[in-house]
Amino acid sequence: MSAPTAVATDTARPASLLVWRLLSLLYDFFPALALWMLVGALFTAGYATGHAARDNIAPFSALQWVLWGCCWVVTGVYAVESWRRGGQTLGMRPWRLQVVGADGTAPTRRQLWLRYAVGTLSVLLGGLGLWWALIDRQRLTWHDRASDTRMRRLPKR
């Protein structure tokens, strides 16, 4: 009896890595949350110096929008610098995910900021850009395509 053989083809669709990407996002939420708390504490301390003891930053005020913008930038710095130093954030390491350029080289800082910006838009739209990987021919997300980067899964050590 002969053993069944697997036929390798170049036309096989790559894995979407969607589950690994989502788990990575969940893990990365916690360092991002810590950064947001730090930024929020700095804003609150600065705001408290010129206001009453129980006064707080008003919802939907200009200052609150600046706070959200600062949180977005700080999270972007965390992600982009992590990707620049090895292609992985803290949340990507346990799942062996790595961001690389489309040609397999290290992506530029511009590509990584574009990836972060389009990824943010994707998440704000209910993850539509992530779910897109399930129907894309090359299993790429919106931020993969827009930034000309790829997510790959590293082999076990």
Say what the pLDDT of residue 153 is.
Answer: 93
Look at residues 39, 28, 27, 48 and name the one whose alpha carbon lies nearest to residue 68: 39
* Positive or negative torsion for Cα 42, 46, 52, 55: negative
The structure tokens listed for 146 are 């827009």
The predicted pLDDT at position 75 comes to: 98
Q: What is the pLDDT of residues 60-105, one digit of tens each?
A: 899 999 999 999 999 999 999 999 999 999 999 999 999 999 999 9
pLDDT of residue 3: 56
pLDDT in tens, the chain (157 residues): 555 555 454 456 677 789 999 999 999 999 999 999 999 999 988 887 877 777 788 888 999 999 999 999 999 999 999 999 999 999 999 999 999 999 999 999 999 999 999 999 999 999 999 999 999 999 999 999 999 999 999 999 8
Predicted pLDDT of residue 58: 81
Which pLDDT does position 86 carry in this prediction?
92
Task: Convert 30-96 into a string of H (helix), E (strand) and C (coil).
Answer: HHHHHHHHHHHHHHHHHHHCCCCCCCCCCCCCHHHHHHHHHHHHHHHHHHHHHHHCCCCCCCCCCCC
Please tell me the pTM assigned to this model.
Answer: 0.85
